[in-house]
Structure 1
Amino acid sequence: MDMDRNIRAYPDIGEMAFGNRGRWVVSVFMNLELYLVATGFLILEGDNLHNLLPNVGVKVAGSTIGGKQTFVILVALIILPTVWVNNLSILSYISASGVLASTIILGSIVWTADGVGFHNKGVLLNWNGIPTALSLYAFCYCAHPVFPTLYTSMRDRTQFSKVLFVCFSLCTICYASIAVLGYLMFGSSLQSQITLNLPTNKISSRIAIYTTLVNPISKYALMVTPIVSAIENQIPPHYSKRLSRVLIRTTLVLSTVLVAIAVPFFGELMSLVGAFLSVSASIIFPCLCYLKISGSYKRNGFERVIISAIVLMGISIAVSGTYVAIQQLISRM
């Protein structure tokens, strides 16, 4: 983006490196990844609300809609107005609440640990779980497709590297802390979301669960912004932009609701996203684009060797992780 000011989004980088085919491949992987992450947010909301209120259900036209499905729909209705907002600076303030929420969640889990204790033990190293673990690690750090959008929206772009450093550092601290606490508290019985293990009768647990519900609501709109932009750019100029935007964004939210209800398995879905999409969009594609744009692929040297090793590592994680994730999803269906 520093080399060419016309580059505004991740697909532009793919086009600069590999032409129209590069743009198409990057766009498909990026948008599908963001779409499924947004879907995962709805599944997370449904799981946690159902855990708090297990007896909720709605009857419509003689059919009963289960608690998880009901909560997914309700949360989508709450999220919908944030998706209609065009001003990314407003969304950044909404998303900033997620940082505070993550801090509160971590503090609440530490508080809960004082009452639950560290009595459970599990298998410290499970080789069969390595592909899933690596896939989920990739998912946790898969924000790369959003970086160009954030960069172009910043008032002071010179601070971008500092922003990334602070964000990744804070995320790593939160992830590692909750992972260790979860293992020590619940061992191998730890679920895909630690909030589902927390005893709902404790105040600290309820604070953690309630606060967990804030994160998806605050981040959903930012996640789907690149998808919305890609679709809206295809609207013919003679159509009403305002009406088209509302219809497109509403339809997008509705579709994620349908997928969340059809495939309500958070851990398995995020593992698939991490292995197949996140590894490709955040590890493999950036390396390949850099090699092509910089011309490093023509030169033998330390940089080329390191980047090629990263690409090979990414491909191995993508293949093994995707295979395991699909197996897990099929077994749950």
Structure 2
Amino acid sequence: MSSLSLVAQRRGSTTSRVTKAVQLGKSTFGQTLFNAIAVLLGIGMLSEPLAFAYAGWIGGMVLMIFYGFITCYTAKILAHFILDDVKLRSYSDIGRKAFGSRASPLISVLFCLELFTVGVALITLFGDSLHSVLPLFSSDTYKLLGLTIIVPTALMPLSLLSYASVIGLISTLFLIAVMFIDGLSKRESPGSLWSPAPTSLDPGNMGELGLAFGLLMAGFSGHAVIPSLARDMVDPSQFDIMINWAFAIASLIYTTIGVTGYLMFGNSVSDEFSQDLMRVPGYNPILNRIAMWGLVLVPISKFALATRPLNVTIEIILGIDTGGQLPDDHGAPLKDSPALDAVAEKSRRLLALKHIFTIIERALVTTLAVIVSIVIPEFDSVMAFLGSFSAFIICVIGPLLAKVSLVGRLGFWDVLLLLIAIAMATWGTGAAFWSAA
């Protein structure tokens, strides 16, 4: 590298080219595309039909296209920031550079709140799905019983949880297939694609429209992972094309689910369309039971992965983070050095004590998620809050404000998108709290 290039690098004029030259990732275009789609496709899809019921056909389609566009645009903003500075590695790094070190606690709180809300939604899904398959106990009872299953998963290593997440993805795709099979196999309404249920063109009321904002936005809340995906690409110059495909595919899948579920169950669709598959008679009971059992596995496979960053953050704050070490990681005692043996033994005891506190902390976080799920049992309210508050701030408002700070200016469309996002976030968050009250 020439001296002129080094000078230019210091001035920041060719940082992007330098970064691409010295920081090559390991993921191909196809691998990154798959990972991006996997991040975007979450449990938010279960509420897409309800979002269409709240917003109506016109509002639902307009919002879906609009949210897909703005979140794809802000994802590119984050990616360009991360690729233009070799020192940046994560969303938090971008926030720290844009707003200073004082913004780090606020960003951490927002991330933790988002992750905890996802955990609450997963607990709600677990209880509701298990109650649909085995109505022997109430949904709340199953949530409490679920502690004995979910708490151990929170203590498992990530290597095992990664394999378990595949089960959740397969279960999700199978549920979508079952929805189409049910809709095409039934000739009469409700629950039929041949004879659609009553629907509406316009929103029911302003409160329901606000809920639709959050429910639809929740499906696009994957921006916390976007910087990592961009950094890990073999050819980062292909990121914009890749992310266009990822958001286009995710938007198409979400729209298909929303439209299909709304046609089948109309304005009376449940907050989780999977519940309607079990309630409406005329479907293949065996097929639907298999699908629901698969849906029961989704929270079991995803809860620990979703809350792991939250747990690690709490453990670091409390000073009990072990960094993945086991109590016996310090090796055998040194026979010729009693002093070193004593130090090693003390370290092992301290590490063992940290592991005990880690188990207690993760059990308490899971228990708190269960309590909140019992207090606020409405799946749509939880997802609406996740979308209206967390997703809007992290996926739209945050990246645009970072652009103001780092670039020094915003275009007309940037300002317009920022104002719309703030208005929708405020409106949707208020509606979510009102519906949960």
* TM-score of the superposed pair, with normalisation by structure 1: 0.83
**Aligned 1:282-301 pairs, distance under 5 A:** 282-293=395-406, 295-297=407-409
Alpha-carbon distance in 2 for matches of 1:296, 1:72: 49
Alpha-carbon distance in 2 for matches of 1:191, 1:39: 18
Q: 2:380 pairs with 237, 259, 267, which one?
A: 267
- Aligned-residue Cα RMSD (Å) equals 2.7
1:31 pairs with 2:106: no
Letter in 1 for 2:277: L
1:131 pairs with 2:244: no
CA contact (8 A) 1:102 1:174 kept: no
Alpha-carbon distance in 2 for matches of 1:289, 1:99: 33
Task: Tell me the residue number matched to 2:275.
Answer: 196
Task: Tell me the residue number matched to 1:321.
Answer: 428
Q: Deviations over 1:134-153 (max 9, x none)?
A: 2111111112224456778x
1:92 pairs with 2:92: no
Alpha-carbon distance in 2 for matches of 1:81, 1:163: 37
Alpha-carbon distance in 2 for matches of 1:217, 1:160: 32
Which consecutive residues of structure 1, in runs of 5 or more, have no partner in the other structure?
Answer: 57-66, 298-302
Letter in 2 for 1:274: G
**Aligned 1:233-272 pairs, distance under 5 A:** 233-236=316-319, 239-240=350-351, 241-272=354-385
Alpha-carbon distance in 2 for matches of 1:27, 1:123: 40
Alpha-carbon distance in 1 for matches of 2:182, 2:421: 37
Alpha-carbon distance in 2 for matches of 1:41, 1:164: 27
Alpha-carbon distance in 1 for matches of 2:424, 2:221: 14
Letter in 2 for 1:312: L
Query: How far off is 1:262 after superposition?
Result: 1.5
Alpha-carbon distance in 1 for matches of 2:361, 2:145: 19
Closer, same or farther: CA 266–306 of 1 in aligned 2, 3 Å: same
Task: Tell me the residue number matched to 1:223.
Answer: 306
Q: Deviations over 1:78-97 (max 9, x none)?
A: 2223322343x543332233
Q: Deviations over 1:107-129 (max 9, x none)?
A: 11111112242331121321523
1:121 pairs with 2:198: yes
Which consecutive residues of structure 2, in runs of 5 or more, have no partner in the other structure?
Answer: 1-81, 321-346
1:43 pairs with 2:124: yes
Alpha-carbon distance in 2 for matches of 1:267, 1:289: 30
Closer, same or farther: CA 314–100 of 1 in aligned 2, 3 Å: same
Higher mean alpha-carbon deviation, 115-124 vs 318-327, is at 115-124
Q: Deviations over 1:12-37 (max 9, x none)?
A: 32221111332122211121011011
Closer, same or farther: CA 24–157 of 1 in aligned 2, 3 Å: farther
Closer, same or farther: CA 106–98 of 1 in aligned 2, 3 Å: same
1:55 pairs with 2:136: yes
Task: Tell me the residue number matched to 1:205.
Answer: 288
Indicate the SS of the match to 1:35: helix
Q: 1:72 pairs with 117, 124, 143, which one?
A: 143
Indicate the SS of the match to 1:85: coil
Query: How far off is 1:174 after superposition?
Result: 3.1
Query: How far off is 1:155 after superposition?
Result: 9.3
Q: Deviations over 1:151-206 (max 9, x none)?
A: 78x69695977875665445333322221121111111101100111135622322
Alpha-carbon distance in 2 for matches of 1:29, 1:111: 39
Alpha-carbon distance in 1 for matches of 2:375, 2:96: 34
Alpha-carbon distance in 2 for matches of 1:72, 1:151: 37
Alpha-carbon distance in 1 for matches of 2:247, 2:155: 28
Closer, same or farther: CA 173–93 of 1 in aligned 2, 3 Å: farther
Alpha-carbon distance in 1 for matches of 2:154, 2:87: 26
Q: Which has the larger radius of gyration?
A: 2
**Aligned 1:167-206 pairs, distance under 5 A:** 168-199=247-278, 202-206=285-289
Letter in 2 for 1:26: I
Query: How far off is 1:232 after superposition?
Result: 2.2
Alpha-carbon distance in 1 for matches of 2:300, 2:381: 21
Task: Tell me the residue number matched to 1:59.
Answer: none
Q: Deviations over 1:186-235 (max 9, x none)?
A: 11110110011113562232233222222222222221122122122224
| Pairs aligned (count) | 312
Closer, same or farther: CA 150–69 of 1 in aligned 2, 3 Å: farther
Query: How far off is 1:317 after superposition?
Result: 0.6
Query: How far off is 1:326 after superposition?
Result: 1.6
CA contact (8 A) 1:109 1:204 kept: no
1:81 pairs with 2:171: no
Indicate the SS of the match to 1:93: helix
